[in-house]
Structure 1
């Protein structure tokens, strides 16, 4: 709908061949660096398959349907994300105005500015832009629900294995709704607390997005690396098996993860000041330091790994 509103739109030559860096606004004059920064959003969005991976343990034939769900989610995200980016790019009215600190979004919210310019240029009011932004805000809301759900599942799983403090509280199941309600509220409260600084300081949002992406993407690097190093005679393949392509695919995946994690640690604006600095490396270092100290000084003394609730020998619960 947006390109229809923004008519006349930018030509295809502009969308597919023009390279805009806006160095006067971003402080970035290196083309390779600009390319790395430009794919951060795609890197973040492509990892939506994580939700599909979380749901596989509750489906029948998860060893087959799980990988198919992951591949399907990546395909859907790619198609719709590509369409979304094309719609925005074709609808740009004035490229120089997008990053102007004096525009309606203070040069900080480029997609919102594109939508605003399209509706204001066509109808001379911003009502339609507000409606479009409400659709985007709605998608953020449901994305937040998905993230909270995944986080609550992780908290519940770890608390079942006594892997986090006050585990008996977080693994408690609501007698009526049969959900770990304490774990859900725990994650919701933490999310709200982390979100409050964003209302005042934009750089906090970048740090949270960077840390969350590095955290869950980096976690997938562990089994992938283990699979590369594992002797083939010790591996029992399932129904979804890559065969001879397994090691090259694992290597590409591992290198991609390393690239993604490194890119999210880089500054996105120059010159570097307190308001443009990427605090993700500091936050990541602090978090890893606390976790490792906790493991060395305490957790390794009592944490024994996953707690079995099924006797594998006779199948009795």
Structure 2
């Protein structure tokens, strides 16, 4: 689907934007200074990697997880960067009217409106939207699998209420049914929130990035506190960086997370209101 959409964006867009627009122009209509706009806007790219930790939660089902899990995570980062960067560049060259981004004051229609504008075809835009829904179904299955695995693992360690039920695995289906029902019910309830408040849903979705950042930085801080002790990082581990690079990478993670956690909580536009505060 990436190849089809990437080629279609390049082939159908006309006229093309100049390289100056794509690589040099910085458009800021948020009301914030450019630096704040850039940092708060990083939440979108961070959201792209929201499932990066999925392979860690499936480590028990992997062969040689000490090798498989790091390779999987690095592959996801590499694949996401190559495809995301290429798609973004193609998109920027194809945009003819940047005003469509604020057409109705809502972000939910932007991908569709951009496709209509760049592809110059409502039919193609609809087809791409349908394909995205199909891809989304497979993504939901993977996310559900990981979520169930998390709930079941936590219950197995007696970390949840009614753990004795949540840790049970169905004898025939070989699936933790109660853990599945729990995760499905929580997602269903979150979906109902949208009926009452779109702002609350936006805040909930936005918190996913912030909470993930926190979950990533906690073990890094603990490792730095322990001075990257060999007790926690065995010398003969499968995935290992030179010591100096390990220190630099972990310090960078902490600094980056502190900075982004501050700016990810900023409202996108100023002055703001009750609707846009958590958008």
TM-score band by shorter chain is 0.7 to 0.9
CA–CA separation in structure 1 for the residues paired with 2:86 and 2:199: 28
CA–CA separation in structure 2 for the residues paired with 1:71 and 1:64: 11
Query: Which sections of structure 1, spanning at least 5 residues, go unmatched?
Result: 280-317
CA–CA separation in structure 2 for the residues paired with 1:212 and 1:42: 13
Partner of 1:68: 71
TM-score calculated relative to the size of structure 2: 0.86
CA contact (8 A) 2:112 2:129 kept: yes
The number of aligned residues is: 268
CA–CA separation in structure 1 for the residues paired with 2:207 and 2:156: 25
CA offset digits 1:110-130 (Å, max 9, x no partner): 2221112234xx35xx22211
Aligned ranges for residues 73-222 of structure 1 at < 5 Å?
Answer: 73-101=76-104, 109-119=109-119, 122-123=120-121, 126-198=122-194, 201-222=197-218
CA distance change for structure 1 residues 186 and 175 in 2, over 3 Å: closer, same or farther? Answer: same
Query: Which sections of structure 2, spanning at least 5 residues, go unmatched?
Result: 1-7
> Are 1:234 and 2:231 an aligned pair?
yes
CA offset digits 1:80-117 (Å, max 9, x no partner): 1112222322221211243133xxx8665322211122
Deviation at 1:191, TM superposition (A): 0.7
Deviation at 1:180, TM superposition (A): 0.8
CA–CA separation in structure 1 for the residues paired with 2:268 and 2:113: 19
> Are 1:58 and 2:55 an aligned pair?
no
CA–CA separation in structure 2 for the residues paired with 1:205 and 1:143: 20
CA distance change for structure 1 residues 93 and 66 in 2, over 3 Å: closer, same or farther? Answer: same
Larger mean Cα displacement after TM superposition, 257-266 or 215-224: 257-266
1 or 2 for the larger relative contact order (CA 8 Å, sep ≥6)?
Answer: 2
SS at match of 1:69: helix
CA–CA separation in structure 1 for the residues paired with 2:106 and 2:238: 53
Deviation at 1:55, TM superposition (A): 2.5
Larger mean Cα displacement after TM superposition, 155-164 or 237-246: 237-246
CA distance change for structure 1 residues 225 and 106 in 2, over 3 Å: closer, same or farther? Answer: closer
CA RMSD of aligned residues (A): 2.3
CA–CA separation in structure 2 for the residues paired with 1:70 and 1:39: 20
CA contact (8 A) 1:171 1:183 kept: yes
Partner of 1:307: none
